[in-house]
Amino acid sequence: MSPNGTFGGTELARPRVQSAARAIGILVEVAQSENGLTTKEISEQVGIGRQATYHLLHTLLETGMLTRAGSRRYVLGLRVGTLVEGFERQLAPSEHLAPIVRELARETGETAYATGWWSNEITVLSVARGTNAVRAAEVSQGHMGEAHARASGKLLLAFANPESRRHYLESHDRPKLTPKTKTDVAELEEEFERIRTQGFSEDAEEYAIGLCCLAVPLSEAGSSIAISISAPRDRFLEERTRYLADLMRIGGARASVASG
């Protein structure tokens, strides 16, 4: 699916129903926390007043989307499970993606991904954990954003049509996640050209320090799906050639293997 919508761009910055946007913001912040959040923490992180926070928390408690952990902290409630089940069912990748990703993780020993266009976003569709004792921190299924810094995201943008690519870059933030992250559009376009020429994409600590990734197109998907692996920097540098060969073989891709 081509990225020609506006989801993730300016429409989300100006929600029509502010209370709904704030409630969703609360759920996201609580979900991303380790052990839940206090009312004060929620108020500060979502950026709303204490009184409005209390009203929204009361609604989320009554609907079962949140529950209390002890007397002060809020955690996700049981009703969230319904959303999770529906999300997994509706986002479920094509039956052939999961086995490919599992094979890639097994062959390389690294965490592997299939990423593609979903609802006009570059989205992680399938994840398989690596078998190495020391693994790179993984990105979860359904993760969106930071495509300019991730190997799979850059590959999908490189092969998107120019108008779709321009729209995506204009409607999404491009934060400098590490000192190596490229954020300038002209610089990114130069890299996209290299990706199209060599047939694969690389992330050398652009998404996170100490983490490197490789991605190739899944040939049967016509460059609309990328498969990738992530690995700790030192192991990646030692095994890069093997990783790329495994990616090309399993994905059926054809690439010009650079030695650098």
Domain assignment present for residue 112? The answer is yes
Domain's final residue, options 83, 103, 121: 83
- Please give the pLDDT value at position 94: 55
Supply the pLDDT for residue 257. 46
- Which pLDDT score is estimated for 187? 96
Which is more confidently placed, 15 or 232? 232
- In this predicted structure, the answer to whether residue 189 has a pLDDT above a threshold of 80 is yes
* Domains identified in the chain, total number: 2
Of the residues 59, 83, 107, which one is the last residue of a structural domain? Answer: 83
- Do 103 and 202 share a structural domain? yes
Range of the domain at 143: 92-251
Q: Give the best-scoring range by mean pLDDT among 20-24, 34-38, 185-189.
A: 185-189
Over residues 221-232, mean pLDDT:
85
- What pLDDT shows up at residue 72? 86
Asked if residue 189 and residue 155 are part of one domain, the reply reads yes
The predicted pLDDT at position 203 comes to 95
pLDDT at 222: 60
User: Does 144 lie in the same domain as 224?
Assistant: yes
Can you tell me the mean pLDDT for 168-190? 95
Mean pLDDT of the chain: 84
The percentage of the chain sitting over the pLDDT mark of 70, rounded to a whole number, equals 82
Mean pLDDT of 150-163: 94
pLDDT per position as a tens digit, 104-145: 999 999 999 999 988 778 999 989 988 876 666 678 888 888
| pLDDT the model gives residue 8 | 36
The pLDDT of residue 95: 60
Whether 112 and 170 map to the same domain: the answer is yes
Same domain, 205 and 130: yes
Please report, for the domain that includes residue 78, its CATH number: 1.10.10.10
pLDDT, residue 159, reads 94
Q: pLDDT tens across 37-95, in order?
A: 999 999 999 999 999 999 999 999 999 999 998 878 999 988 887 776 665 555 555 56
Question: Pick from 21, 53, 83: which residue ends a domain?
Answer: 83
255: confidence class by pLDDT, cuts 50, 70, 90: low
pTM for the model: 0.65
Q: Are 137 and 24 in contact (CB under 8 A)?
A: no
User: 49 forms bridges with which residues in the sheet?
Assistant: none
pLDDT value of residue 228: 96
